[in-house]
Amino acid sequence: MNIFQTATVAPAKAPKRTDKTTVRVPELAGAIETFNNTKEEIDALEARLAEAQHTIHVAGRKAFLDLYRTGRHNPDSFIIEADDGLRIMYLPTDKYKAIDAARSRYLREKYGEAITSETTEYAFDAELLERYAEAISAAIMNAPEIPEEDKPRLIVARTKFSVAKGSIDRLLDSPDPSEMLEEIQPVIQLKRA
């Protein structure tokens, strides 16, 4: 028996408590008001920024795909210039948003096995590791001190899925590069130019 094949899936974290104790501190009234007002202003500015970024990303994605198709390769970064002369750098990266197993399966079925990667991280259950530290130093599977029912729980498996590096360079391998770009969701950076 291979103990790594019997690893248990890490349990989901418990939700945070919502019942908080209230403590009255009168001298903080001005600071709390400033904090709350400033936070509202920041939230409003971030909403405006997100809207502008979305507009730029939509136009940038179209320009990126046009350059990609014309040059027949990944154009990397480029400058977008508006009619008023203002400019911004559009930087598509070979980094991708995290995906789950179902999304990985979907992308593999549609674009082939190479489109995603899967890594599994094994970690010791801290409580069990501490409880059986001396026995583990011998040999996990041969240690008679560890009950059989605890051995499979000793190692916890965490599997992560991601879009494979280099996927952005294979857009033209797809019948619809625009759709593939939308589905693999590369991280796009915008910088002042």
- Which H helix or E strand runs over 159? strand 155-163
What are the DSSP calls for 68-104, one per residue? HHHHTS----EEEE-TTS-EEEEEEEEEE--B-HHHH
Specify the pLDDT at position 92: 93
Specify the pLDDT at position 176: 94
Is 70 exceeded by the pLDDT of residue 142? yes
CA distance 9 to 158: 6
pLDDT digits (tens, 9 = 90+) for 10-40: 666 777 777 888 989 999 889 999 999 999 9
CA distance 168 to 76: 10
Q: Which range among 12-16, 85-89, 149-153 shows the weakest confidence by mean pLDDT?
A: 12-16
Cα–Cα distances (Å) from 33 to 17, 20, 30, 104, in that order, read 25, 20, 5, 46
**Percent of the chain whose predicted confidence (pLDDT) is above 70:** 91
∠ CA 123-129-133, rounded to 5°: 135
Mean pLDDT of the chain: 87
Asked if 163 and 181 count as a contact pair (C-beta separation under 8 A), the reply is: no
pLDDT band (50, 70, 90) for residue 132: confident
Terminal CA-to-CA distance of the chain, rounded, Å? Answer: 58
CA distance 80 to 76: 13
Max mean pLDDT range (46-50, 72-76, 144-148)? 46-50
Is 70 exceeded by the pLDDT of residue 193? no
